[in-house]
């Protein structure tokens, strides 16, 4: 135990002798003659105790008064309960504010409990005495840094010893629905601990530096993390384990019949008890379908499990599965907002609903810019497209702006350039065959001859079911692309097919003309054309519709001439963003799940959905016994006291003793 006001202890040096002196003072009494002292024993005893030191023997009142005085002096000195952390010169508090920390524990969330623990902890520090007096050998002031983390880490407070400021900054930490990323928080803490302090005093990372992780322990890939110079302790938060959530939602329109919509929903039970509930599908807020669900409990998690409970969703056949995959069919000939909702209340509301914004159905409009290409024209004629337009390269370059673009965007869903390099590229989707876009970072060197196709990505949607084993290419362009370009087909020395996305434009670049190969003779070529057009035009037909995840930036292409956009968050707040010169703006404040509105519409849509869809965050059972890399993380018990100051206890004790002293005094007087 320590004291905040050590100067108050000096009161004892004067108060205790003063109290004793009062007991030494003799009473000045009037003398009277009486016939007998038989009835005056009390008076005689009083005369005897007035003798020095006699009245201090077996004096209960004096003892009680000394106890009252001692309790009052100790209370005035403001005693506090010390913790082992007070000997640490520097501490870093890592406060988890990821989605699972929104789990409710009674009437509070885990984040509320974590902030409370952090505030209680900092209030036990730097309480080594008053400004004017400290005990010899008292611990130096602890400097505390606070880092809050979810998918990204941020410094809430740099190293400081100001307890009041730390408490206020910790209390202001906002919740998020983003996933947990401890790696960035560790790197940030290490960077600060290896720099100098505010006083420019060199600090070594080996000197008493410690990390305190305040979290429910739901951190993925702990084994891949490392602690370089600091020690770590974990204050576990939370007890609740019951939760079920929607872990995936995907919507897809039929490519040939766009008004047909299929929804794929996955629901998982992460709790330890069987679950029976309903899954409701709503279209623009109106109930469309209700499907009952019965899910088995999740299998037990190993103590040091690196996967969330449920694993791949398989459990013992006798108990069934804790995962349900459902399929819904809709006939939807308009744009709509679909919501999947579980009919139950559990500890984590963020995964009980999931949304998807469905674009209106329509087939693709394609423009072919080519002098004449029988192979391409034949393939495009056989695809289920709304329309195919043809322009020669000269016609395309001389066409009025209104013929090829509208509001800064291409009037066509996909534009195919056959052996034509161009810089006229409004925002849109482009397939270059034997040509390249004239943009920065992209160039075509000389022709490469006598080379074979070495590798292709069969898992990519563009090359799905496309076999290239017997395709022979006479020559192709030596493509020079930026490092971020995605290579789908590669030759010995250069890429053959690559995808590059930049400034709202999507480029698919094939390095050789079709007639320079025998590809047109194989059925894989029409499949490639089908996949490529479908993939590039996926914003309007055929491809899956998926929502963003919390923390992911939304890329919004605004109409030409729009100088700003107003974003409405699920909480109802309105934020303003400004586009760049191409009309593209990025909105990164997507930390909460729900539906975000945008005005004016971006990419023809007024709404965008953000869903949790994270099994790690939905598995809310708290983890203990963490291990970071090869190092075990010690568990530290939370602080139960709301404040480390305990002077109130001594005030109460003083009042109780004073009451008892009053009782004893009155009883003696009445005898």
Do the beta carbons of residue 626 and residue 633 sit within 8 Å?
Answer: yes
Instruction: Give the DSSP per-residue string, 267-283.
Output: EEE-SSS-EEEEEEEEE
Give the model's pLDDT for residue 327: 94
pTM above 0.85, yes or no: no
For residue 617, the Cα-to-chain-centroid distance in whole angstroms is 9
Distance, in Å, from the CA atom of 511 to the CA atom of 109, rounded to the nearest integer, reads 56
Residue 246 CB: number of other CB atoms within 10 A? 23
Using CA atoms, how far apart are residues 272 and 146, in angstroms rounded to an integer?
35
Tokens 């598995």 -> residue:
619
Cross-strand bridge partners of residue 326? 265
Contact between residue 89 and residue 207 where contact means Cβ atoms under 8 Å apart: yes
* Eight-class DSSP state of 458: T
Domains of the chain are: 2-78+648-670 (no CATH), 84-240+628-641 (3.40.50.410), 245-361 (2.60.40.10), 365-540 (3.40.50.880), 548-610 (2.60.40)
Residue in the block written with tokens 């089908």: 530
Rounded CA gap, 168 and 187, in Å? 25
CA distances from 35 to 29, 39, 44, 46 (A): 18, 10, 14, 19
The neighbouring-strand residues paired with 453 are none
Residues lower than pLDDT 50 in the chain: 55, 128-139, 196-208, 304-305, 312-319, 539-543, 670-671
Token duo for residue 125: 């520090």
Output the pLDDT for position 135: 40
For 214, 286, 323, the CA distances from 262, given in Å and listed in that order, are 42, 17, 20
pLDDT at 20: 63
**Nearest in space to 148 (alpha carbons), one of 124, 184, 121:** 184
Separation CA 644–CA 78 (nearest Å) = 10
Extract the tokens encoding 89: 């010169």
Pairing of strands 209-215, 231-236: parallel
Residue 263 phi/psi, 5-degree rounding, is -115, 130
pLDDT of residue 168: 94
**Nearest of 623, 622, 545, 624 to residue 348 by alpha carbon:** 622
> How open is the CA angle 440-441-447, to the nearest 5 degrees?
115
Report the 10 Å Cβ neighbour count for 310.
24
Q: SS3 for 370? A: coil
SS3 145: strand
Each residue of 387-405: b (16+ CB within 10 Å) or e? Answer: ebebbebeebeeeeeeebb
Q: Say what the pLDDT of residue 352 is.
A: 96
Q: Work out the end-to-end distance of the chain between its first and last CA atoms, rounded to an integer number of angstroms.
A: 43
What is the rounded CA–CA span in Å between residue 513 and residue 519? 10
- Rounded to an integer, what distance in angstroms lies between the CA atom of residue 214 and that of residue 97? 10
Instruction: Mention every residue, 6+ apart, whose C-beta is less than 8 A from residue 356.
Output: 249, 250, 251, 263, 337, 338, 545, 546, 547, 609
Give the Cβ contact number of residue 521 at 10 Å. 12
Pairing between β-strand 104-105 and β-strand 108-109 as defined by DSSP bridges: antiparallel
């Amino acid at each position: 135990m320590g004291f905040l006001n050590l100067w108050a202890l000096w009161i004892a040096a004067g108060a205790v002798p003063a109290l004793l002196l009062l007991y030494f003072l003799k009473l000045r009494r009037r003398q009277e003659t009486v016939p007998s002292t038989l009835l005056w024993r009390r008076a005689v005893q009083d005369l005897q105790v007035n003798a020095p030191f006699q009245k201090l023997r077996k004096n209960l009142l004096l003892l009680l008064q000394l106890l009252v005085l001692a309790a009052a002096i100790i209370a005035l000195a403001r005693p506090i309960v010390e913790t082992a952390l007070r000997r640490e010169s520097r501490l870093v508090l890592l406060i988890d504010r990821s989605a699972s920390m929104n789990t409710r524990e009674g009437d509070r969330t885990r984040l509320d409990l974590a902030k409370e623990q952090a505030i209680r902890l900092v209030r036990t520090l730097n309480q080594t005495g008053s400004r004017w007096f400290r005990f010899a050998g008292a611990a130096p002031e602890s400097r505390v840094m606070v880092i809050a983390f979810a998918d990204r880490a941020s410094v809430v407070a740099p190293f400081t010893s100001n307890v009041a400021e730390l408490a206020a900054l910790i209390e202001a930490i906002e919740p998020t629905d983003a996933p947990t990323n401890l790696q960035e928080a560790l790197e940030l803490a290490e960077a600060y601990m290896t720099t100098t302090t505010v006083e420019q005093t060199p600090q070594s990372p080996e000197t008493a530096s410690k990390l305190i992780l305040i979290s429910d322990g739901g951190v993925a890939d702990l084994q891949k993390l490392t602690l370089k110079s600091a020690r770590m302790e974990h204050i576990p938060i939370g007890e609740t384990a019951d939760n079920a959530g929607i872990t995936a939602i995907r919507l897809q329109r039929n490519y040939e019949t766009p008004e047909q919509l299929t929804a794929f929903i996955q629901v998982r039970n992460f709790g330890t008890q069987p679950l029976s509930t309903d899954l409701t599908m709503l279209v623009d807020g109106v109930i469309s379908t209700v499907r009952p669900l019965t899910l088995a409990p999740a299998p037990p998690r190993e103590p040091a499990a690196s996967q969330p409970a449920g694993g791949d969703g398989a459990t013992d056949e006798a108990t069934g599965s804790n995962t349900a995959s459902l399929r819904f069919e809709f006939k939807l000939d308009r744009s709509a907002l679909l919501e999947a909702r579980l009919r139950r209340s559990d500890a984590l509301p963020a995964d009980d609903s999931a949304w998807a914004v469905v674009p209106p159905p329509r087939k693709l409009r394609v423009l072919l810019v080519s002098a004449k290409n029988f192979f391409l024209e034949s393939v495009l004629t056989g695809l289920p497209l709304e329309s195919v337009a043809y322009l020669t390269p000269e016609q395309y370059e001389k066409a009025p702006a209104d013929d090829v673009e509208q509001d800064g965007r291409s009037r066509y869903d996909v534009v195919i350039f056959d052996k034509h390099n161009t810089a006229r590229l409004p925002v849109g989707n482009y397939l270059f065959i034997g040509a390249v876009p004239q943009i920065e970072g992209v160039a075509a060197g000389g022709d490469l001859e006598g080379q074979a196709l070495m590798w292709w990505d069969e898992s990519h949607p563009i090359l799905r079911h496309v076999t290239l084993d017997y395709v022979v290419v006479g020559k192709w362009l030596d493509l020079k692309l930026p490092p971020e370009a995605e290579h789908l087909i590669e030759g010995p020395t250069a890429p053959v097919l690559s995808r590059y996305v930049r400034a709202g434009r999507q480029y698919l670049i094939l390095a050789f003309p079709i007639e320079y190969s025998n590809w047109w003779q194989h059925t894989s070529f029409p499949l490639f054309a089908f996949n490529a057009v479908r993939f590039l035009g996926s914003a309007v037909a055929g491809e899956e519709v998926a929502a963003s995840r919390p923390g992911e930036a939304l890329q919004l292409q605004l109409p030409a001439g729009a100088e700003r956009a107003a974003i409405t968050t699920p909480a109802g707040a309105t934020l303003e963003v400004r586009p760049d010169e191409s009309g593209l703006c990025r909105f990164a404040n997507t930390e909460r799940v729900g539906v975000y509105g945008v005005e004016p519409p971006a990419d023809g849509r007024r709404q965008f959905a953000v869903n949790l869809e994270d099994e790690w965050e939905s598995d809310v059972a708290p983890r203990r016994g963490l291990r970071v890399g090869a190092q075990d993380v010690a568990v530290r018990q939370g602080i139960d006291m709301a404040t480390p100051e305990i002077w109130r206890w001594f005030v109460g004790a003083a009042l109780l003793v004073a009451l008892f002293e009053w009782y004893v005094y009155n009883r003696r007087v009445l005898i």
